[in-house]
Structure 1
Amino acid sequence: MSNIDKILGELMRIDGASGAAVVDADSGMVLGMSGNPSFSLEYAGAGNSEVVRAKLRTMSNLGITDTLEDILITLSNQYHLIRVLETPGLSTLFVYLVLDRARANLALARHKLGEQTPKIEI
């Protein structure tokens, strides 16, 4: 049984978190979401699926065989963190976390994200 809601609830406890979602990068479909950012998490999840796919494609084209862990997008008032999940045999999944830049500690948020995402069960 999936524990997505529980993990997203834990991520929302991070200082400055305003939204979190688990997204299927292959389809752009949001599998679960929490919070209330000033924009649609469903639309953001679909859009960031393109970012993840583009990065994975670029890595492949360059012959880079490392594992993609995360992507940081820095806006003037927000941090957007994308943490790619290891899901052998399944679609590429990622956790998308939106943080208020004035309130969040980026290092602690990345640590918490790295701590919680391996616990996700689909």
Structure 2
Amino acid sequence: MPGIDECLLEVMRLPGARGASVVDWTSGLALGTIGDSPNGDHEATAAETAEVARMTAEQPAFARPSRTGGTGGTGRAGETGGTPGPSPAPGPSPASGSSPTPNPSPGTPVEDVIVTTHDGYHMLRFVETAFDSSVFLHLWLDRSEGNLALARMRLGELAQRLVLA
């Protein structure tokens, strides 16, 4: 299980990787950085990407859907809304593989965010932790040299293995 530095070194092995960081999206602080920064300043980039992560993680539009399956609610996280009906059958949820609760995991409802620019991709991959899940991996990937699908899969693997100490 890699720590922050080892994780960032692995990220930079991806074809087309220009720079990467581990960022706390609640504070906007970079916990670790490597490579180049799109604006030349890793701390400013961390603060800017944290704003994108925060907007995504905290908005009801991206919340997990209600498990009741009814209509009439606003779609906000944890709201049941809808018409009365039978409760969902006990057992693992097909989407998450965990218990059928409105918010089955401690982390954000979003796995990753991809921003496409003319010459690159910015991928933010949220890291699930037991305590607050307020950390994400940011990868700046060259559009002509990088492989977005490969980068997304590798960041997902690294986010699962990352050890924050």
Residue pair 1:26, 1:91 contacting (<8 A) in 2 also? no
Q: Residue 115 of structure 2 aligns to a residue in which SS?
A: strand
Q: Structure 1, unaligned stretches of length 5 or more? A: none
Higher relative contact order by CA 8 Å / sep ≥ 6: 1 or 2?
Answer: 1
State the identity as a percent: 38
Which residue does the alignment assign to 1:44?
45
Equivalent position of 2:15 in the other structure: 15
Amino acid at match of 1:120: L
Match of 1:114 among 153, 156, 161: 156
Amino acid at match of 1:69: E
Which residue in the other structure is 2:27 paired with? Answer: 27
Bigger CA radius of gyration: 2
The one-letter code of the counterpart of 1:33 is T
- Going by fraction, where is helix more abundant, 1 or 2? 1
Where do 5+ consecutive residues of structure 2 fail to align? Answer: 64-73, 78-102
TM-score under structure 2 normalisation?
Answer: 0.68
- CA–CA distance in 2 between the matches of 1:38 and 1:44? 7
Aligned residues: 121
SS at match of 2:144: coil
Residue deviations 1:59-100, cap 9 Å, x none? Answer: 358424572100000000010000011123235100000000
Q: Secondary structure at the match of 2:151?
A: helix
Q: Would you say the 8 A contact 2:112–2:123 is kept in 1?
A: yes
Aligned-residue RMSD, C-alpha: 1.8
User: Relative to total residues, which structure has the larger strand share, 1 or 2?
Assistant: 1
